[in-house]
Chain A
């Protein structure tokens, strides 16, 4: 299937939450595309799925986004068959299409200039009889919980990265993680998103959020910090929560105010579920979160938490 896509299509991925709301040419293009398929009756609701289309916006086929590979392959072949029946003039290489033009910035999030971009992965873990942790076995009837890690992002702007460094740093010195960053991590990234889009933690659901940074090494142009922390996040009814310990190493280029290393883990127990994350494991279960710097050529994917409206003021 991968080969089929690479050879015959230009693949592009996006977040329907933004795409269907955009009030610009791209949003209009997408809505007109969706109107040609099964999502035409969705109104303002979701238009998610896999669309096969021409550059002019003609729908060649549609599939739900969570199909098994054999059905998706079938969809690819069906779309290609429709494509092959189009006049050559619509399929010829070397065409030029006009760019969409101005973007509706409300629904086209971009990282700040000089941002530090961090990949965040969350995985449901299981404790073995000897007490050690391991990943879940692949999903099956006996083990229905998704076993793959979920992905997300964390954005820090340059000023925030600078704020991680003590004023006159010395080895052994410890400072509190700036509240805005600690709360953003807690509210947006310390969530159980392994089964879908998670609810973010409300301010009142942060019972404990303590993160410190200790200077491990310092030079004029670089600094290395050890992160230690613990969080207790839970709803008022205590029907959902996450209790975890954090640890990690953050290294910063002091001239560029950009992180050069951001290896952080959070390990704890999660319980409960949100609207779009049903069927949790019973009781409290081990959940691990790992963070690392995104590759320089990583695709531009905004943090899920950006939709919350509180991303840059998570401590308020």
Chain B
């Protein structure tokens, strides 16, 4: 019975080699085809964006989400 509980306490462990670390890192990170929206030159300061838009004679596109659209949303 004691051995059973001891086994329950053993968390799964993964022994990462350097290659495994790099491979897993690359798997999780965004791939090139997942980053197309980043081609848009997003500003993060509405103040600065307004001044740019005024100088350029352009309207603004303001994307506000709960959670930053360029971060966790």
Contacts and interface: CB of A to CB of B under 8 A. Distances in A.
A and B assemble together: yes
B39 A15 contact: no
Given A5-B61, A83-B59, A99-B51, A151 B71 contact: yes
A5 to B, nearest CB: 5
A157 interface: no
B71 to A, nearest CB: 4
A197 B11 contact: no
A65 B65 contact: yes
B50 A55 contact: yes
A265 B21 contact: yes
Interface in A277-308: 288-290, 292, 299-304
The interface size bin for chain A is 35 or more
Contacts of B59: 8-10, 52-54, 60, 79-80, 83
B54 A50 contact: no
Contact of B73 (A52, A94, A197): A197
A192 to B, nearest CB: 11
B64 A197 contact: no
Contacts of B72: 150-152, 193, 197-198, 303-304
A123 interface: yes
A30 B43 CA distance: 16
Interface stretch (A159-167, A170-178, A242-250): A242-250
Given A11-B42, A91-B57, A197 B62 contact: no
A152 B69 CA distance: 10
Contacts of B34: 148-149
B70 A248 contact: no
Contact of A302 (B49, B63, B71): B71
Nearest to B42: A13
A10 B14 contact: no
B66 A197 contact: yes
Given A197-B66, A304-B71, A94 B57 contact: yes
Contacts of B71: 15, 151-153, 301-304
A122 B44 CA distance: 22
B28 A55 contact: no
A265 B24 contact: yes
B37 to A, nearest CB: 7
Contacts of B7: none
B61 A11 contact: yes
Given A83-B59, A304-B67, A6 B27 contact: no
A28 B24 CA distance: 45
B60 A9 contact: yes
Interface string B6-50: 000001111010000110110111100010110111111111011
18 contacts: A2-B39, A9-B59, A10-B53, A10-B58, A10-B59, A11-B43, A13-B43, A15-B65, A19-B64, A50-B63, A65-B63, A95-B54, A123-B28, A150-B72, A247-B14, A300-B44, A301-B70, A304-B72
Interface of B: 11-14, 16, 21-22, 24-25, 27-30, 34, 36-37, 39-47, 49-73
